[in-house]
């Protein structure tokens, strides 16, 4: 069920001749109840897939927006088990939108790879992205997730050579996340021709849908990227809405603000290819 | 049993020392660390690289460093004979330069045109900035904002050497945050940038190549003690933050099972207080900064900030080979509190006329215990890995003396 839920989301988008919209948010930022509401807001406003960020103290691949979101979440006491229980709460209200947990290795390593896979499966999670577990190091997690039919979503990047693309593809499931530019989340984007070439390489090697992310902030960029790949990922811009809500003294408005941004991005993606 | 192959074979082809080490980095960096490994192996087999490195180590760094019989400290502790390996006499004032020189030569070989580094106390930053000045390479040093404040002389030194200093205020503004930020820079500028990691940690092949470049300490020490005393020491000792000076001293003695290897971790206010930097004695295995190793972490796998009077030991992790040596029992890891380190700092200064850095002051504190345990027939080599000029301001502050 979990991997097929991801495939179904990409197929549905493709059947409407549009890219799937993958929306990222940090779980527990500013608190778990608000995150649960935010997940619903994302799904209701056009997100096809939700990437639920699991906070880590030392997010080496993230820019300032997601770093700060992680620290806000941790300051509020969020644990990995809380991320899974928030996913579960959402799954009880929504059977269609795939949930991907995105985070770093150590909290998962601490829980135990097999234990995490079992708990994620019970929570209705569909796939996992672990930024600092490259193919060479993800075997234990991969085997654990395979037991419960959860997808292992790997990153491919502009530095991934053709030979490595095969290594990345072999063992990937669900989709491949193509990082548009060598850099951290929320930074600039690469040249479109380069991105197209990278996406095609990832697609040919894996036979899976490819979603492209890092640096997509505006509806215009989202529309452009939707022409290059099967999916478009937006993260930092959505997470920034939480910060803006907090700074405006109304953190409870975060889901509404995130929903409004997601709606405009989804609209741009819906017509991006026409 | 011939243990020769047992200790020398690590890391394996996956960059592991037993179950520690590995390559836990984002995909963007994976092709580069594979390239680095290939280039390092080629450099090791290249006599020209060796000649260049050795020549500069002799004429620019000032090696071999002296082996000094610390006579008055030996008398004071009234036990084993204590020798200092004088790596604080190196150019730039610590062992760090041994590794920086090697890595910058590798960077040049790989055609990289920009160098980045992280630094805690500033010793690695100064050493990197120095080698970059020597080769005319632009250098950016990431340093925690807290450390920029407490290590002002080194910050100015790096600026004089032409380096750009980036204060890092994310997290607690110490070494681990500087390392996060250096990794972020590297991932962004991977095409032209070489990351000179200062300690024997990070993704493979860094723990190996830092160890190899630092092993000059142990090789020299072994030859020097054989010449002076006609026998191997009973124990070799060093302080441990990430563990580069210790692994450099230990590695050439690994096969000599009669030589005890003793590392000393920073215990800060005491392990029981939670305010310490003793990853091996007070942490658990986990994954951070590219390797699986002992880490200070909470029940949910979040990293806990380290605490130490010494900025150079203020790190929540440890090089993976030390984790391996601990678990196999080949090396032993003791601890030393801030207070004990301050006392040892003053003791060494008064008795030997050598102002040690606060980092090796931790080792000096435990040398006394081991010397007593071994008795008068015993023989100890301790690596005096850095000089204390950089620490005089903070030591004055801790002693409540105003010298500003």
Provide the residue ranges of all domains of chain A, joining segments of one domain with +: 2-271
Percent of chain B with pLDDT over 90: 91
Active site residue A51: yes
For residue range B104-133, what is the model confidence (pLDDT) as tens digits?
999 999 999 999 999 988 999 999 999 999
A64 to chain B: which residues are within 8 Å by CB? Answer: 170
The answer on pLDDT for B230 being more than 60 is yes
The answer on pLDDT for B87 being more than 80 is yes
Spatial CA neighbour of B171 closest among A239, A56, A109:
A56
Q: What is the pLDDT of residue B149?
A: 84
Task: Provide the b/e sequence for B373-383 (b: ≥16 CB within 10 Å).
Answer: ebeeebbbbbb
Task: Provide the b/e sequence for B99-138 (b: ≥16 CB within 10 Å).
Answer: bbbbbbbbbebbebebbbbbbbbbbbbbbbbbbbeeeebe
Q: Are A17 and A227 in contact (CB under 8 A)?
A: no
Average pLDDT over residues B9-29: 96
A57 to chain B: which residues are within 8 Å by CB? Answer: 171, 302-303
Q: Among B64-68, B146-150, B398-402, name the most confident range.
A: B64-68
Do A182 and B31 lie within an 8 Å CB cutoff?
no
Spatial CA neighbour of B337 closest among B366, B296, B375, B303:
B366
Q: What is the pLDDT of residue A1?
A: 66
C-alpha neighbours within 13 Å on the C-beta side of residue A137: 28
A136 to chain B: which residues are within 8 Å by CB? Answer: 14, 22-23, 30
What DSSP string describes B136-153?
T--EEEEEEHHHHHHTHH
Q: How far apart are the CA of A271 and the nearest CA of chain B, in angstroms?
A: 31
Give the residue from chain B lying closest to A131, CA to CA: B26
Q: What is the pLDDT of residue B1?
A: 44
Do A105 and B24 lie within an 8 Å CB cutoff?
yes
Average pLDDT over residues B249-258: 97
Residue given tokens 């999670």 in the structure block: A125
Distance CA B198, CA B92 (A): 14
Between 1.20.1530.20, 2.60.40.10, 3.40.50.1100, 3.10.290.10, what CATH number should domain B17-58+96-210 receive?
3.40.50.1100
Name the token pair of B64: 């071999």
Q: What is the pLDDT of residue B5?
A: 57
Residue given tokens 């849908």 in the structure block: A209
Give residues with Cβ within 8 angstroms of A224, minimum separation 6: A192, A272
What DSSP string describes B218-276?
HHHHHHHHHHHHSS--SEEEEEESS-HHHHHHHGGGTT-TTSEEEEEEEEETBGGGTB-
A131 to chain B: which residues are within 8 Å by CB? Answer: 26
Q: How far apart are the CA of B109 and the nearest CA of chain A, in angstroms?
A: 20
A188 contact B CB<8A: no
C-alpha neighbours within 13 Å on the C-beta side of residue B15: 29
Distance CA B15, CA B208 (A): 8
Give the architecture-level CATH label for domain A2-271. Alpha-Beta Barrel (3.20)
The answer on pLDDT for B4 being more than 60 is no
Name the token pair of A25: 């948010």
Nearest CB among B190, B290, B295 relative to A182 is that of B190
Do B30 and A159 lie within an 8 Å CB cutoff?
yes
B287 to chain A: which residues are within 8 Å by CB? Answer: 104-106, 109, 132
Do B300 and A61 lie within an 8 Å CB cutoff?
no
Q: From residue A261, how far is each of A24, B264, B391 by CA, in Å?
A: 12, 53, 52
What DSSP string describes A118-136?
HHHHHTT--EEEETT--GG
- Kindly list the domain boundaries of chain B, sorted by start residue: 17-58+96-210, 62-93+215-398
Active site residue A224: no
Q: What is the pLDDT of residue B187?
A: 93
Residue given tokens 């049993």 in the structure block: B1
Do B297 and A106 lie within an 8 Å CB cutoff?
yes
Which one of B24, B177, B316 makes the best mutation probe of the A interface by having the most chain A beta carbons within 10 Å?
B24
Q: Are B194 and B103 in contact (CB under 8 A)?
A: yes
Average pLDDT over residues B277-304: 98
Asked if domains B17-58+96-210 and B62-93+215-398 share a fold, the reply is: yes
Spatial CA neighbour of B165 closest among B377, B176, B151, A82:
B151
Q: How far apart are the CA of B298 and the nearest CA of chain A, in angstroms?
A: 9
Do B187 and A134 lie within an 8 Å CB cutoff?
no
Residue pLDDT tens, chain A, 274 long: 688 999 999 999 999 999 999 999 999 999 999 999 999 999 999 999 999 999 999 999 999 999 999 999 999 999 999 999 999 999 999 999 999 999 999 999 999 999 999 999 999 999 999 999 999 999 999 999 999 999 999 999 999 999 999 999 999 999 999 999 988 988 877 788 899 999 999 999 999 999 999 889 999 999 999 999 999 999 999 999 999 999 999 999 999 999 999 999 999 999 999 8
Q: How far apart are the CA of A263 and the nearest CA of chain B, in angstroms?
A: 30
B303 to chain A: which residues are within 8 Å by CB? Answer: 57-58, 106
A136 contact B CB<8A: yes
Q: What is the pLDDT of residue B40?
A: 98
Q: Which CATH class is domain B62-93+215-398?
A: alpha beta
The answer on pLDDT for B90 being more than 70 is yes
User: Which residue numbers of B have CB closer than 8 Å to A's CBs?
Assistant: 14, 22-32, 170-171, 176-177, 180, 183-184, 187-191, 286-290, 292, 295, 297, 299-303
Nearest CB among A110, A133, A137 relative to B297 is that of A110
Q: How far apart are the CA of A273 and the nearest CA of chain B, in angstroms?
A: 29
Do A109 and B191 lie within an 8 Å CB cutoff?
no
Nearest CB among A79, A109, A157 relative to B27 is that of A157
Q: How confident is the model at residue B2 (pLDDT cuts 50, 70, 90)?
A: very low
A187 contact B CB<8A: yes
A159 to chain B: which residues are within 8 Å by CB? Answer: 27-32, 190
Spatial CA neighbour of B38 closest among B205, B160, B190, B200:
B205
Distance CA A53, CA A31 (A): 13
């Amino acid at each position: 069920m979990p991997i097929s839920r991801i495939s179904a989301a990409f197929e549905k988008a493709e059947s409407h001749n549009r890219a799937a919209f993958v929306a990222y948010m940090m779980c527990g930022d500013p608190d778990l109840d608000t995150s649960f509401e935010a997940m619903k807001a994302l799904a209701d406003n056009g997100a096809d897939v939700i990437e639920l960020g699991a906070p880590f103290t030392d997010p080496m691949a993230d820019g300032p927006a997601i770093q700060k979101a992680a620290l806000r979440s941790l300051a509020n006491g969020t644990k990995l088990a809380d991320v899974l229980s928030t996913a579960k709460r959402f799954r009880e209200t929504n059977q269609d939108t795939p949930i991907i947990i995105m985070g770093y290795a150590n909290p998962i390593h601490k829980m135990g790879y097999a234990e995490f896979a079992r708990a994620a499966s019970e929570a209705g999670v569909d796939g996992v992205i672990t930024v600092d577990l490259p193919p060479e190091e993800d075997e234990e997690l991969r085997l654990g997730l395979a037991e419960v039919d959860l997808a292992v979503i790997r990153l491919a990047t502009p530095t991934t050579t053709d030979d490595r693309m095969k290594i990345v593809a072999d063992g990937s499931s669900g989709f491949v996340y193509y990082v548009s530019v060598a850099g951290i989340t929320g930074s600039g984007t690469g040249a479109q021709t380069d991105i197209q070439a990278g996406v095609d390489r990832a697609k040919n090697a894996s036979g899976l849908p490819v979603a492209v992310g890092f640096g997509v902030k505006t509806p215009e960029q989202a529309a452009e990227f939707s022409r290059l790949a099967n999916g478009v990922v937006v993260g930092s811009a959505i997470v920034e809405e939480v910060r803006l809500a907090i700074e405006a003294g109304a953190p409870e408005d975060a889901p509404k603000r995130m929903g409004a941004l997601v709606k405009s991005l989804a609209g741009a993606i819906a017509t991006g290819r026409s | 049993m011939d243990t020769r192959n047992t200790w020398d074979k690590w890391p394996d082809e996956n960059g592991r020392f037993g179950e520690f080490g590995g390559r836990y980095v984002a995909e963007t960096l994976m092709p580069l660390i594979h390239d680095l490994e290939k280039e390092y192996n080629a450099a090791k087999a290249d006599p020209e690289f060796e000649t260049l490195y050795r020549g500069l180590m002799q004429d620019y760094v000032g090696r071999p460093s002296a082996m000094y019989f610390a006579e008055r400290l030996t008398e004071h502790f009234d036990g084993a004979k204590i020798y200092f390996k004088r790596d604080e006499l190196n150019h730039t004032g610590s062992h760090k330069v041994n590794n920086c020189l090697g890595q910058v030569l590798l960077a040049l070989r790989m055609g990289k045109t920009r160098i980045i580094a992280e630094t805690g106390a500033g010793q690695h930053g100064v050493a990197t900035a120095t080698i970059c000045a020597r080769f005319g390479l632009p250098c950016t040093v990431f340093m925690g904002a807290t450390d920029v404040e407490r290590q002002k002389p080194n910050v100015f030194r790096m600026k004089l050497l032409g380096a750009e200093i980036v204060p890092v205020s994310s997290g607690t503004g110490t070494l681990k945050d500087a390392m996060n930020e250096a990794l972020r820079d590297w991932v962004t500028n991977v095409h032209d940038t070489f990351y000179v990691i200062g300690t024997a940690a990070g993704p493979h092949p860094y723990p190996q190549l830092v160890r190899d470049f630092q092993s000059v300490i142990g090789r020299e020490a072994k030859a020097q003690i054989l010449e002076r005393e006609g026998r191997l020491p009973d124990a070799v000792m060093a302080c441990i933050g990430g563990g580069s000076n210790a692994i450099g001293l230990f590695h050439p003695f690994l096969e000599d099972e009669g030589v005890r290897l003793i590392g000393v971790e920073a215990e800060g206010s005491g392990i029981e207080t939670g305010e310490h930097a003793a990853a091996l004695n007070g942490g658990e295995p986990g994954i951070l900064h590219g390797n699986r190793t002992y880490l200070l972490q909470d029940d949910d796998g979040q990293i806990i900030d380290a605490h130490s009077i010494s900025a150079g030991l203020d790190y929540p992790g440890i090089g993976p080979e030390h984790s391996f040596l601990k678990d196999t029992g080949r090396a032993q890891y003791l601890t030393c509190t801030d207070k004990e380190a301050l006392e040892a700092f003053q003791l060494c200064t008064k008795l030997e006329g050598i102002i040690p850095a606060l980092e090796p002051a931790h080792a000096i504190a435990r040398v006394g215990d081991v010397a007593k345990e071994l008795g008068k027939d015993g023989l100890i080599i301790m690596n005096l890995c850095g000089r204390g000029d950089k620490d005089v301001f903070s030591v004055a502050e801790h002693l409540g003396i105003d010298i500003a």
